[in-house]
Amino acid sequence: MSTKPYRVLVGQIFQETHGFSPVPTPMRAFEVDPASSMIDTQRQSDSTLGGIIRTLEAAGVELIPSIAARARCGGKVTNEAYAEISAAIVAAAEHAQADAIALDLHGCMQTEALDSAELDLLTRLRAVVGPRLPIVAGFDLHAHATADMLSLLDFSSAYKTNPHADAAQTGQRVADHLLHMLRTGERPAGYFLRVPMLTSGNDETGTGPLHAIHQSAQAAIGAHTDLIDYSVFNVNPFIDGPQVGQGVLVYGAANAPPDHAANLANTLAQNLWDARAAFVHTLPTIDDVIARYPRSAQAITIGDFGDRVLAGAPGDSVHILDRVLTRGDRHITIIVADPDAYLRCAEAGVGATLETSLGASLTPGLTPVTVSGRVNHIGDGSFTNRGQFMKGGVLRLGPYAVLAGKHFIAVITQDAVMSQDPGCYLDAGVPLDNADIIVVKSGYHFKLAFQGYGPCVIAETPGLTGFAPDTLPFSKCRPIYPLDRLTPVLEAQRLTRG
């Protein structure tokens, strides 16, 4: 037996695209760890890549770094940014003479030119390393998984939880299966099928239809030793592209009869389809929320569901501000991306009073408001997460102005900001102790951080991230539920590569 360690190339390219956002995601939106530092940085991380690195290092594998790049959800990645990041991985694969490649991919990344950046990346990697070299990947469960993409991989697996709490375990699982493949030469047999449907909410894994589907999948994997792993991909419902839909992937052992894996995939897909009408949630309007929570000593934190930056929206809606100012009986604290209003404040300077149009400058169909206030602060920088989600993590605020009026205080930013944490206000110098209403551009994760201020609720608001597929111009993925009437044939196919 050879004592020479296996050499595995590792890399990460991670962005979830909102395919209908008019605001592209440029290179500056990515946090990049270059080859020289990515192993040390990512070894500490709770990411899929962190799980891959720790598992492979513990097994004595020699890691070959390429690049690790992550950006928040947003519009399509610019061709330049994708070219730069993907070239680093492909060039490393060309020169590394690795025994295998292990990747951390979101799986739902689109560029200005590509409906699936991951399909492009894996196709180029195969062109460089050939059909035999093992390539494995861990995915977010909101990936745009297709048979074309998955057949380029020898093993892949998605998170099993939403909200996502198992990225590192996913990396560990992927690395463990890679090690088995390297030691035995065996390749697991993958079976995949697409379910032509979009979800419209109610898609957390701890409750609702997905809870039952994951429970039955785990029971089946536990009961059959020839079943290796399953993934249920619930595609991010804000992209269009060929084969967009739900995906089910089951791997069986290399030489096992195919029935178990294919049957499990078929059953899970049928369960998804049968539950299609249950993947919907209905939300109160802003006026409903205000009526339900009378003014009190506690703040209400309202998630602006239609304009969730955490789901890729531009963060420029002022719908909630407009409703609250029109009523005139509460004070509201809001964060709004509006590059022009930011510039007007910056030009006016700290201490100046001005009247300005605010919001609705990026998302089609929204309406701006006109507000008057004093420029309290101009800044540029970042904020630190206080709450459980990404606690201690530093996120970009970028250039911003704080404008304060009679019934409002607004943090006006040049770019969209993830605002699931009070840090985005506190580190911009905006205290929250006396707020009546705090607006965040998040649908779920903010509850973990804002509950100390009072009730946290989400409201139905206009914008690009409400679950209203009939308002978005889907074309390439049609026919698809709920936009079309169809009766799908749900039959898993073995993933094969030429």
Q: Are 199 and 209 in contact (CB under 8 A)?
A: no
Q: Which of residues 142-161 bind Zn ion (CB under 5 A)?
A: 142
- The span from the CA of 439 to the CA of 335, in Å, is 7
Which among 202, 201, 210 is positioned nearest to 233, based on CA atoms?
210
Nearer Cβ to Zn ion, position 140 or 415?
Answer: 140
Closest CB 16 distance from Zn ion, rounded Å? 6
Strand partners, 246: 195
- The span from the CA of 201 to the CA of 198, in Å, is 9
With CB under 5 A as the contact rule, which of the stretches 138-146, 247-255, 432-440, 441-449 interacts with Zn ion?
138-146
Is 194 near Zn ion (CB under 5 A)? Answer: no
Half-sphere exposure of 61 (CA within 13 A, CB side): 29
Q: What are phi and psi of 444, to 5 degrees?
A: -130, -55
Report CA dihedral (423, 426, 427, 429) to the nearest 10 degrees.
160
> Does an H or E element contain 168, and which?
helix 167-184
Cβ count within 10 A of residue 66: 26
Nearer Cβ to Zn ion, position 106 or 177?
Answer: 106
Closest CB 170 distance from Zn ion, rounded Å? 11
Nearer Cβ to Zn ion, position 167 or 402?
Answer: 167
Strands (E), 365-496: 369-384, 394-404, 408-413, 437-440, 456-459, 493-494
Closest CB 162 distance from Zn ion, rounded Å? 6
- The span from the CA of 227 to the CA of 268, in Å, is 14
Is 118 near Zn ion (CB under 5 A)? Answer: no
Q: Which of residues 238-267 bind Zn ion (CB under 5 A)?
A: none
Nearer Cβ to Zn ion, position 142 or 260?
Answer: 142
With CB under 5 A as the contact rule, which of the stretches 127-135, 137-145, 174-182, 206-214 interacts with Zn ion?
137-145
Closest CB 381 distance from Zn ion, rounded Å? 27
Which single residue brings its beta carbon nearest to Zn ion?
142
With CB under 5 A as the contact rule, which of the stretches 7-15, 134-142, 300-308, 382-390 interacts with Zn ion?
134-142
Closest CB 108 distance from Zn ion, rounded Å? 8
Nearer Cβ to Zn ion, position 158 or 283?
Answer: 158
Closest CB 420 distance from Zn ion, rounded Å? 14
Closest CB 305 distance from Zn ion, rounded Å? 16
Closest CB 347 distance from Zn ion, rounded Å? 39
Closest CB 138 distance from Zn ion, rounded Å? 12
Q: In sequence order, what are the residues at sequence separation of 6 or more whose Cβ sits closer than 8 angstroms to the Cβ of residue 61?
A: 5, 6, 7, 8, 179
The sheet with strand 189-195 has its strands ordered as: 227-233, 246-252, 189-195, 493-494
Number of residues that bind Zn ion (CB under 5 A): 2
Which among 149, 241, 248 is positioned nearest to 191, based on CA atoms?
248
With CB under 5 A as the contact rule, which of the stretches 76-84, 132-140, 174-182, 391-399 interacts with Zn ion?
132-140
44 residue type, one letter: Q
494 residue type, one letter: R
Q: In sequence order, what are the residues at sequence separation of 6 or more whose Cβ sits closer than 8 angstroms to the Cβ of residue 295?
A: 329, 330, 436
Q: Which of residues 380-439 bind Zn ion (CB under 5 A)?
A: none
With CB under 5 A as the contact rule, which of the stretches 133-141, 144-152, 186-194, 405-413 interacts with Zn ion?
133-141
With CB under 5 A as the contact rule, which of the stretches 32-40, 58-66, 141-149, 420-428 interacts with Zn ion?
141-149
Nearer Cβ to Zn ion, position 142 or 447?
Answer: 142
Is 140 near Zn ion (CB under 5 A)? Answer: yes
Q: What are phi and psi of 9, to 5 degrees?
A: -80, 130
Q: Which positions lie near Zn ion, rule CB under 5 A?
A: 140, 142
